[in-house]
Chains A and B, each alone.
Chain A
Amino acid sequence: MKIGVFCSPRSFFAGDVLIDILSAIIVFIIAIYAFRLYKCKKPYQHCKTLAMFGTALIALGSSFVIRIITYYNLVMSGNGSAYRHMLISISDLESILFLCGFISYRLLTVTGFFIIYCIAFRKDSWLSKSLVFLLLFANTVMLKYYVSQTFYLTNMLLLAVISLKYREQFLVSKNKNTRLVAISFMLLSASYFFIMISEWYTHTYILSRIIWLGSFILLLWSFIKVLKHGKKTDKT
């Protein structure tokens, strides 16, 4: 069995790792806060969505960490400046470990985004959610070289749909933080678009990673504003 992987150049790997670590830290901070609020609210009211949101962010954060660990050897074995599309044969123990990490990274990413999708579209039927899940799952476990792009494509579409839903919520609530969250998901979606086309234009990879970082910084900014606004409204 062979799996297709796109690999960033070694010269950019430090940047890649830094972006993933920062993204993971941001989502872990928000997740911990969501669980703290869940614990505070639970004795008084049912609040499944807070726990779901925290779980989604933990899944995403874990996927970023696993990605760094999984890709380390692969990137370090290449030359300094080349982007590489690789077909990796799953034959020895090392490649099996890589496969486990690779699938875990993909499954956790998709799980995280899917939970956020379920929160955003919680009024939709279970049938439509199941169909989305099946589509995501199918694209996650397709590991061959060209099929790999469908993973990015489905993530891009899912994030675009989530972003549109947040925009819709912003138009109703006029909450500026919701707008920031919507922009953040739209940037994440754009980031997947640039990763997808990096197959043909390899340098869009760095652009996609910068957009990715920007989206998480926006998410952090929205979180800081939530904290500040929460304090302000309480004083009034």
Chain B
Amino acid sequence: MGKKRTKLDIIQDILLTIRSKGGRIKQTHLMYKANLSHTQMKGYLAELGRKALLKESQREHNTFVSITEEGLRFLEESRKIAEFEEAYGL
């Protein structure tokens, strides 16, 4: 069994999933691709929305989630954090 994902891992997965889909994705697709339950996803979307990393939009009865510039920056920072922690054994 794989290691339990941390909160940061899940946030990275959400942001990477959206980025890999060209920066915008349907909410339901995000839920499956990031391996989240509906409740979990709603919680994360609300938090990331508050921090301006993501934004939600309605289009033809579907809710889309898109990554913001801030979200892309955060993704880059989280990569650096992972690299730094691995190199220095943190």
Contact = CB atoms under 8 A, between A and B. Distances in A.
Interface of A: 33-34, 37, 40-41, 43-45, 47, 49-50, 53, 119-120, 165-166, 169, 173, 175, 177-178, 180-181, 222, 225-227, 229-231, 233-234
Given A169-B89, A173-B86, 10 more contacts: A34-B84, A37-B80, A40-B78, A49-B90, A119-B89, A177-B87, A178-B87, A181-B88, A230-B84, A231-B76
B11 interface: yes
A230 B89 contact: no
B72 to A, nearest CB: 9
Contact of B8 (A44, A119, A175): A44
B85 A49 contact: yes
Interface string B64-90: 000000000011111111111111111
B81 A166 contact: no
Contacts of A173: 86
B84 A234 contact: no
Of B7, B74, B78, B83, which is in contact with the most chain A CB atoms at under 10 Å from its CB? B83
Contacts of B77: 37, 40
Nearest to B10: A44
Task: Label chain A's interface by main secondary structure.
Answer: helix
14 contacts: A40-B74, A41-B81, A45-B7, A49-B90, A50-B81, A50-B84, A53-B90, A178-B87, A180-B87, A226-B87, A230-B83, A231-B76, A233-B83, A234-B79
Nearest to B87: A177
Contacts of B74: 40
Contacts of A45: 6-8
A173 B86 CA distance: 8
Contact of A178 (B11, B81, B89): B89
A37 B76 CA distance: 11
Interface string B1-37: 0000011100100000000000000000000000000
B80 A119 contact: no
Nearest to A44: B8
A49 B79 CA distance: 17
Contacts of B76: 230-231, 234
A226 B84 contact: yes
